[in-house]
Amino acid sequence: MSVLLIIFCVLAAITLSTAFLTVFSRNPIHSAIYLVICFFSVAGHYLLLNAQFLAIVHIIVYSGAIMILFLFTIMLMNLNKENEVHKPRITRLGAIVSFCLVCLILIAIFVNSKPIAGDYIATGEDYQSIKVLGKILLNEYMVPFEFASILLLVAMIGTVLLSKKEKLEK
């Protein structure tokens, strides 16, 4: 086995296990930390695909900005309460069975898939270049880029408004 395949398998195992722990962890702070680890392992996959710029941007945007926003939201709203109602066993069992079925279906799809056989047409344009990526992002995808920034701003304002304590009038 080659070194890249071993690195890919390790990164895939880390990604899947931390994603699973993010969903099933009872402590929201631990879930956020598992999600940060999952984001870093996804950035490792980008590095394996020789997309260094995309890996760095992924780390800065997701692991940096969005996870800090999540952590502040969790800490401001004080979601770590012990009086949380636990789901019945049948609900947890149904979730586990559904998860396993989806995993089996995805594995079957990946095993039975065949690579696309055909000629690769090279356009000569380097999409790894920051200059080309910037032109595409700020010309063709300007509106979705701005919508994403407005969505994050509204989420931040909503977090602050939800976390404010109401004053009791005397």
Say what the pLDDT of residue 135 is.
82
Pair 22, 31: CB distance under 8 Å: yes
Length of the chain: 170
Per the rule left: phi > 0, alpha: psi between -120 and 50, beta: everything else, 124 is: left
Q: Is the pLDDT of residue 139 over 70?
A: yes
Domain 1-82 classification at class level: mainly alpha
Say what the pLDDT of residue 165 is.
61
Say what the pLDDT of residue 42 is.
93
Name, in order, each residue with C-beta under 8 angstroms of 41's C-beta and a sequence gap of 6 or more.
11, 14, 15, 18
Q: Is the pLDDT of residue 81 over 80?
A: no
DSSP code string of 129-158? -HHHHHHHHHHTTHHHHHHHHHHHHHHHHH
Domain ranges of the chain: 1-82, 127-162
Q: What is the pLDDT of residues 63-74, one digit of tens each?
A: 777 777 777 777
Q: Is the pLDDT of residue 168 over 60?
A: no
Q: Is the pLDDT of residue 153 over 90?
A: no
